[in-house]
Chain A
Amino acid sequence: MRSSGLSLDQAPPEDIPFRFFLTAPVFGLLAGSLILYRGVLVFSSSWHFETIALTHLITLGWVMMIMMGAFYQLVPVLAGGQVPWIALSRVVHFFMIIGILALAGGLLLISPLLFPVAIAALLLAFTVFLTQLLTALFRVKANRPVVVAMRISLISLALAVSLGVLEIGAITGLWPPLIERSIVKNLHVTLALSGGIGGLIIGVGFHIIPMFYLSSPFPEKRAIWILRAGMFSLAAVSVMLLNSAGSVLLFTAMLPGVTASIIFTLTVWQMLLKRKRKVVDATLRFWQIGLLAFPLSLLCLSVHLFWPDERLTFAFGLLFLMGFAATITNGMLYKIVPFLIWFHRFSTLVGKVKVPLLKEILPAKRTSGQLLQAALAMLTLLPGALLQIDWLVRAGAIFWLTSSGWLVLNLIFAFRQKPVTND
């Protein structure tokens, strides 16, 4: 084991995860505004530029922002690897914002000038991010399930970003299309969502559930099996997509991954039910909503293979992105942010001055109120998109806006907690 340079205090400076975390709900506000402005029209075709813009405001703007902050924060603690060139993370954050705004702006305004900016900024941000994290994770000798899951996530993201860039370049006419558009799209979505987002949430879930809720540990053999099945499906589905395979073959390729996801969901659900701590907080509810939405999203995806109705694509997108990914990341912010503030600003003052408790850094009343808005947003957007009811979609947008705005305010409230100085 590499012991030189091993320090147990490798956490990045507090501003690094926080800048990513706070940006996420701001993009949530932009996404909500777009839904409110366009209503049910954003749920008419998954090829529409405004629908693609909306999707990326959520995937890159919300989910990826929190994932990046979490990677920087969690890799040292969960995997024991130091993230190199940590100061560059601020550059990553800056270019992510530029890239996402240029991408969404280019798609919404159909402005070809913005696409090269989006390509350059996102490529730069992801290249630096992936180099930092892959370096850290491949230096770690231990092959704990979380490390494997994080590697799967990062490699999937690298491939998904490359495909995305190829596609924008082809749309803009920077270079000719290499592969058929629908293949690029399906491959991009598969890698980004199941490998990139699913991989990280599942991997982190193995450790975070026992840690936060004092449940039994996630069975290690099962965790390894889940990751193997997931990797197999990811590879098999990619090959099938590249060969334009039919629905039955695609479904067969998906099956091990879908089964593994369901086993993950059932295991975590059981662990939460049998947890030692009886206390119920908003973060637990966020996990439970996410764990309900996850298998439902996979059901929509599977049915869509045999019954290709676009509405099922939107149901899948809403359930997976807003119901599962955004919800779980939202809940985790409420566990991680107050603790990081406490840890960075107050931990060394314990016993010397009166320090606030976690519940004072972020009171439960604030988080449960936002949870309700997030749940209402899902409950209105989903039937609104499925049944194509404009007012329901717009009502959902208002709940989503309220929820995102509330999260911004809650995070700011927590960030403002500072030790009182006497001088």
Chain B
Amino acid sequence: MQTINEYMAADHARCDQLYADAEAELLSGSFEKGREKMLAFEAGMRRHFEMEEAILFPAFEEATGMTQGPTMVMRAEHVQMNGILAQIQESLEIDDPDTTLGAGETLLMLIQQHNMKEEGMLYPMVDQQLTAQVPDLIQKMDAIE
């Protein structure tokens, strides 16, 4: 049976790949393709946030009663990431690949340390505390467009 940690880590890796592809296009100078791929990355990120904020975090909070704990910190970091995603979008609109790359780099560092905390602590806690609900949670998250 797939664990939450495996399922979510795979989605992290998918978003990482989308970012790397977009960055490679921008570095090679093809701005249009880069923009397209950066938008795909952004969509991937927003979907991941929704999986967590609409399904995973509420289930964890309900089961443990911890609403001021790890999920609160993770939500706060999502807000920060959304802020930089907005900056990336603005730079794409004004055709400024340098700022896109700089903001992307900053976002990536934020994402990586965020993912490490989730994969190292939060997801294992979910797997342990909500074992019976895992297949159902994965199914619900899969259904998100």
Contact = CB atoms under 8 A, between A and B. Distances in A.
Interface in A343-357: 343, 347-348, 350-351, 357
Contacts of A276: 16-17, 20
A360 interface: yes
A211 B83 contact: no
Interface string A297-340: 00000000000000000000000000000000000000100010
Contact of B80 (A8, A77, A350): A350
A3 interface: yes
Contacts, number: 92
A278 B112 CA distance: 17
A353 B98 CA distance: 20
Contacts of B125: 1, 3, 6
Contacts of B24: 277-278
B94 to A, nearest CB: 14
Given A351-B86, A359-B105, A278 B120 contact: no
A351 B70 contact: no
Interface residues of A, number: 31
B122 A3 contact: no
B124 A279 contact: no
Contact of A342 (B17, B66, B86, B106): B106
Interface string B18-33: 0110011001000000
Contacts of A6: 69-70, 121, 125
Interface in A1-22: 1, 3, 6-9
B23 A358 contact: no
B83 A360 contact: no
B117 interface: yes
B124 A278 contact: no
Nearest to B112: A211
Contacts of A37: none
Contacts of A8: 69-70, 73-74, 117, 121-122
Nearest to A361: B106
Contact of A7 (B69, B84, B112, B120): B69
B2 interface: no
Interface residues of B, number: 40
A392 B8 CA distance: 54
A139 interface: no
Given A7-B70, A347-B110, A78 B116 contact: yes
A339 B113 contact: yes
Given A350-B80, A357-B105, A358-B109, A277 B64 contact: no
B130 to A, nearest CB: 13
Given A8-B122, A78-B120, A350 B83 contact: yes
A80 interface: yes
B103 interface: yes
Nearest to A278: B24
Interface in A201-229: 207, 211-212, 214
Interface in A251-282: 276-279
Contacts of A358: 102, 105-106, 109
Given A3-B66, A351-B83, A279 B27 contact: yes
B99 to A, nearest CB: 8
Contact of B121 (A80, A343, A359, A360): A80
17 contacts: A1-B128, A3-B64, A3-B69, A6-B69, A7-B69, A8-B73, A211-B112, A214-B17, A214-B108, A278-B27, A343-B110, A343-B113, A348-B80, A350-B83, A351-B79, A357-B103, A357-B106
Given A3-B125, A211-B116, 8 more contacts: A3-B129, A8-B121, A77-B116, A276-B17, A350-B83, A357-B99, A357-B105, A357-B106
